[in-house]
Amino acid sequence: MYGIYLLSVWLHILAAITWIGGIAFLVFVVVPWLRRSDRTIAVTFLRETGERFRAVGWICFAILLVTGTYNLWFRGVRFGDFVRSAWLHSTFGKAVVIKLALFVVVLIVSAIHDVSIGPRAALAMEQEPGSLHAERLRRKASMLGRLNALLALALVAAAVVIVRGWPW
């Protein structure tokens, strides 16, 4: 059983690295490069890159959900613990609840970005380049992407606390 747990932890970390690394690549490499390139090419490239990364991101979320659930189960966490006051007020319980809450927020923000705002922004930037409507949608998509990047960092911090404990 311990070997399966280690495999699950490895897959969990690999999925997190892939998702967070993809966000970092988009935020720190792709978007700044696109700002300096031809607008038409940039919009097409960003749309196509976003569509491909969207699939990778949601696969990572599925892997994180399955492996995270198994990892908690292996460490002795059961569904009943989430209604036990003593567990919820323990340092470990608080860290788990924070991480799960952050994960739910990430899923919501990602869904809004990936299903609604992102595709609409890309379409508007292709069909109405330079319009106020396209710019507003682009800003919203950008804001949601940045929010997810910050949430990703908070998730990593919560994961560290789960494994190593609170710093105070």
Query: How much is the pLDDT for 4?
Result: 96
Residues whose CB is less than 8 angstroms from the CB of residue 140 and which lie 6 or more positions away in sequence, other chains included: 117, 121
pTM: 0.88
pLDDT in tens, 35-54: 787 777 878 888 888 888 99
pLDDT in tens, 104-128: 999 999 999 999 999 999 899 888 8
12 CB neighbour count, 10 Å cutoff: 20
Cα–Cα–Cα angle for 30, 124, 107, rounded to 5 degrees = 60
